[in-house]
Amino acid sequence: MRYNPKAKTVLALETSCDESAVAVVRFEQGRVSLLANCIASQIEEHAKWGGVVPEIASRLHLETLPHLVGEAMAESGQSFQELSAVAATVTPGLAGALLVGSVTGRTLAHLHSLPFLGVHHLEGHLASVHLSKTPPKFPYLVLLVSGGHTELIRVERDCQFQRLGRSHDDAAGEAFDKVARLLGLTYPGGPAIEKLSIDGDPKSFSLPKGRVSRPQGGFYPYDFSFSGLKTAMMRQVQRLQSEDIELPLADLAASFQEVVAEVLVERSISCTLDQGLKTLVMVGGVAANKRLREMMLDRTSINGIDLFMAPKAFCTDNAAMIGTAALMRLELMTCSSSNQLGVSPRWPLEQSHLLYQSKAPF
């Protein structure tokens, strides 16, 4: 592959949780192209504990990342001299895991005299839809629904983000994991519940659609709460067990999945219409759920909304989305992060622009 000096090419690292990932992405002629995409999953290591163990995640990132960088560079056919920048996730996430990617990224950037871009993990998810063949046009509303986040975010062309809805307790992905554990299913819970639901009746159990009360009365129209749903599932299981009834696992899973999908779809469409937008985007790990995708396609069509979904391969954590977010920043302006930029377990998406100032925010 011949090097085009007008094209921007980024080496990106993602280590915010339990996926070690490295990608090489390029922006050329208005499109993002993926030159390499390497992921080392840690699911088997964490499954035995029923969830992610931060210390194990950090150690595995440390062991795996150098090999993935070499693999990605070889696959891309690029040399470091042909890169425009190195990017890595710096927030939010597990501090130790983030540190592995950040230090590796900054070191590579320094060794090869390249700019370093510290990327907000959620901005990466928002950018993942631009890895599709037909990305949406700005502005649009995004439903970001993953293991750690359930949010409705308005996205403008200039990387300005406005959060319009959020979860006040468990994110949807967390709820899937916890309900799966309740039903004795494997980790991660989302795929396990989706598979089991195929043989279940989604109308078997009546479950609540959690709402979040306003202090002044009424409800927040676009916010989410899954703790009540999780409790309702627990009580259903306890009632059945107390009556010595064999758990109808498929029906329980299907009923739970259906309610989660309905809540996500209804509030996303309501927010899109109220914002006067014509485009809705769905990203994040839970966005790979087949029932959610089917329901969202049906309801958006009925309401005259154009729906764009991140490709399934880029719904879960990956470095391609981090590289895409970095490319979008580079297209807006010549920018880089401070070499002193550290990592932070939490940082507001609305303040992600501070990651590209000469004075590091953390």
User: Per residue in 315-362, pLDDT tens?
Assistant: 999 999 999 999 999 998 878 999 999 999 999 999 999 999 999 999
pLDDT range class, residue 270, cuts 50, 70, 90:
very high
User: Are 150 and 292 members of one domain?
Assistant: yes
What span, in angstroms and rounded, lies between the C-alpha atoms of 100 and 349?
Answer: 21
Task: Please give the average per-residue pLDDT across 34-55, as a whole number.
Answer: 88
User: Are 218 and 251 members of one domain?
Assistant: yes
Can you give the residue range of the structural domain that contains 229? 137-309
Helices (H), 221-276: 227-242, 249-274
User: Are 206 and 289 members of one domain?
Assistant: yes
- Tell me what pLDDT residue 48 has: 81
Task: Please give the average per-residue pLDDT across 23-52, as a whole number.
Answer: 90
- Tell me what pLDDT residue 47 has: 82
- Which tokens is 239 given? 């009632």
Task: Tell me if 223 is assigned to some domain.
Answer: yes
Task: Tell me if 87 is assigned to some domain.
Answer: yes
User: Are 107 and 156 members of one domain?
Assistant: no
Q: What CATH number corresponds to the domain at position 167?
A: 3.30.420.40
Which whole-number Å values give the CA distances from 167 to 53, 144, 152, 267, 295, in the listed order? 23, 11, 9, 12, 20
Q: Which of 111, 118, 46 lies closest to 73, judged by CA? A: 111
User: Are 22 and 150 members of one domain?
Assistant: no
Task: Tell me if 3 is assigned to some domain.
Answer: no
CA 312 to chain CA mean position, Å = 11
Task: Tell me if 171 is assigned to some domain.
Answer: yes
- Tell me what pLDDT residue 3 has: 38
Q: Is the pLDDT of residue 33 over 50?
A: yes
User: Are 241 and 337 members of one domain?
Assistant: no
User: What's the domain count of the chain?
Assistant: 2
User: Are 18 and 114 members of one domain?
Assistant: yes
What span, in angstroms and rounded, lies between the C-alpha atoms of 87 and 103?
Answer: 11
Looking at every residue in the chain, the average pLDDT score rounds to 95
Which whole-number Å values give the CA distances from 302 to 5, 86, 295, 298, in the listed order? 45, 43, 11, 6
Contact 229, 114 (CB under 8 A): no
User: Are 333 and 293 members of one domain?
Assistant: no
The DSSP secondary-structure symbol of 213 reads B
- Tell me what pLDDT residue 1 has: 30
Count CA atoms closer than 13 A to 304's CA, side-chain side: 4
Contact 157, 136 (CB under 8 A): no
Task: Provide CB contacts within 8 A for 357, sequence distance 6+.
Answer: 338
Residues in the chain, overall count: 362
- Tell me what pLDDT residue 2 has: 34
User: Are 55 and 150 members of one domain?
Assistant: no
User: Are 167 and 305 members of one domain?
Assistant: yes
> Taking the model in full, what pTM does it have?
0.93
- Which tokens is 143 given? 């439903």
pLDDT tens digits for range 148-184:
899 999 999 889 999 999 999 999 999 999 999 999 9
User: Are 50 and 171 members of one domain?
Assistant: no
Task: Tell me if 362 is assigned to some domain.
Answer: no
User: Are 143 and 279 members of one domain?
Assistant: yes
